[in-house]
Amino acid sequence: MAVRLITEKCTGCKLCLRACPYGGIEIVEGKARFNDQCTQCGACVSSCKFGALVLEVTFTRDVDVDQYRGVWVVAEHLHGQMRRGTYELLGEGRRLADKLGVELAAVLFGDGVEGVAPDLIAHGADKVYLAQDPALAHYRTGPYTDVLSGMINQYRPEVVLVSATPQGRDLAPRVAARVSAGLTADCTGLDIDEDDRLLVQTRPAFGGNLMATIVCREARPQMATVRPGVMKALDPDPSREGEVVEVPVKLDERAILTKIVEIVQQESDGQVNLQDAEIIVSGGRGLGKPENFAIIRELAEALGGAVGASRAAVDAGWIPAYHQVGQTGRTVQPKLYIACGISGAVQHLAGMQSSDVIVAINKDPAAPIFNIATYGIVGDLFEIVPKLTEKLKGL
């Protein structure tokens, strides 16, 4: 990818100077000119009202793949609080980087987040590329795309991993289109083909009914969004050493097309934290009505677990969507998963079948959930679940 200036069309209006996060454009004799700071990030292109700046897309076969080395993980945090998926990416990224014999770097954007960098190193990163600016404090597509694309052009990693969270799935396709990278969505398995230095990406499609293996031979970097809850984080080692590389950027709020009006964190309690839970008790259509989630909550409470739900229960409006387990909800891997009144549609199974022990309680003996349950009980959940809660409390 390259940014090209059509000098005849340039009016010297300076709008592109505002848009450039790297200070890579100057106006010389009434015309824009790129200087050494330019990273070819492309931020200026859409700022030009006169069509003087164009993004030229490189034909993937013309990319020199050998110029790209290293594995990157894009860190995701909320006000400096790291999302757990980032640690999982670092754990997986460490394994891939070791196979490739290269460095693992984390990319950290924000404002006043330098204190988080050592934590990323403790979780496996050799290096942290840190870009800070008030405009990067909260995620927005435009500035994050501009800065990340510029860094990719400058440092040329061969692999870039992003969490398949709403933020990651907003950012990664935009960056991939900007830098003409190959991008695979929502991967659940990654590996390296050592002969060709290829990232071998496995992902579910068709709601979990099919698995596909995808590679990107010619374009670089090889980008993947990775499903949270699947990869393993390393135990943090505070004695690990690494380097923090500050990437100087300066953003101009006037050039950013998206304004954040409001951010509301939904109420949450221990019972929602599905990703961290060792035990999850889930309810589905068999509960019949929203009030009946009380018996699920009581069992979860007795076990110190979280409350999950099937898509049917969420779609019926019985419980908020952030409790949803499955292909379109969360993927979970607790030690114990208790499915109550859940038939076990493939899309639900896709999100929980890696749990260590699965207990299914359902009145329909033909429910597919029984095909994967470690322990199955064919019966009335309204009788069994409260009794179970009672007995667990008594033990």
Partner 1 sequence: MNIVVCIKQVPETTEVRVDPETNALIREGIKGIVNPFDENAIEAALQLREAHGGKVTVVSMGPPQAEEALRHALAMGADEAILLTDAGFRGSDTLATSYALAAAVKKIGDVDLVLCGKQAIDGDTGQVGPGMAERLGFPQVTFTIELEIADGKLRARRVLDDLFEVIEVKLPAVVTVVKQINEPRLPGMRNVLKAKRAEITKWTAADLEADPTQVGFDGSPTQVLKVWPPQKRSSGQLLEGEPDEVAERLAGIIKELNIAPR
Q: Which of 132, 271, 347, 362 binds partner 1 (CB under 8 A)?
A: 347
Instruction: Give CA–CA dist 121/242, Å, rounded.
Output: 6
Q: Which of 12, 209, 253, 290 binds partner 1 (CB under 8 A)?
A: 209
Using the rule CB under 8 A, is 318 a contact of partner 1? no
> CB–CB of 105/72 below 8 Å?
yes
Q: Which of 57, 112, 196, 246 binds partner 1 (CB under 8 A)?
A: 57
- Name, in order, each residue with C-beta under 8 angstroms of 340's C-beta and a sequence gap of 6 or more: 281, 282, 283, 284, 286, 287, 295, 296, 299, 361, 362, 381, 385
Q: Which is nearer to partner 1, 125 or 153 (CB)?
A: 153
> CB–CB of 10/50 below 8 Å?
yes
Q: Which of 78, 79, 232, 294 binds partner 1 (CB under 8 A)?
A: 78
Q: Which of 1, 45, 65, 367 binds partner 1 (CB under 8 A)?
A: 45
β-strand pairing of 25-28 with 31-34? antiparallel
Q: Which of 4, 9, 232, 391 binds partner 1 (CB under 8 A)?
A: 391
Q: Which is nearer to partner 1, 121 or 192 (CB)?
A: 192
Joined tokens for residue 174: 């935009």
> CB–CB of 101/79 below 8 Å?
no
Instruction: Give CA–CA dist 72/183, Å, rounded.
Output: 14
The CB-side HSE value for 246 (13 A sphere, CA atoms) comes to 10
Total of chain residues touching partner 1, rule CB under 8 A? 96
Q: Which of 59, 67, 81, 235 binds partner 1 (CB under 8 A)?
A: 59
Q: Which is nearer to partner 1, 210 or 294 (CB)?
A: 210
Q: Which of 20, 279, 332, 367 binds partner 1 (CB under 8 A)?
A: 279
Sole window of 20-28, 107-115, 126-134, 213-221 interacting with partner 1 (rule: CB under 8 A) = 213-221
Sole window of 6-14, 23-31, 154-162, 200-208 interacting with partner 1 (rule: CB under 8 A) = 200-208
> CB–CB of 121/128 below 8 Å?
yes
Min CB(59)–partner 1 separation in Å: 4
Q: Residue count of the chain, please give it.
A: 395
- Mark 125-164 with x for binding to partner 1 (rule: CB under 8 A) and - for no binding: ---------------xxx--x-------------------
Residue matched to tokens 């890579």? 24
Residues in 5-44 that interact with partner 1 by CB under 8 A:
none
List, as one string, the DSSP characters of 175-189: HHHHHT-EEEEEESE
Q: Which of 21, 242, 305, 351 binds partner 1 (CB under 8 A)?
A: 305
Using the rule CB under 8 A, is 112 a contact of partner 1? no
Sign of the torsion formed by the C-alpha atoms of 53, 59, 63 and 69: positive
Min CB(188)–partner 1 separation in Å: 10
Using the rule CB under 8 A, is 77 a contact of partner 1? no
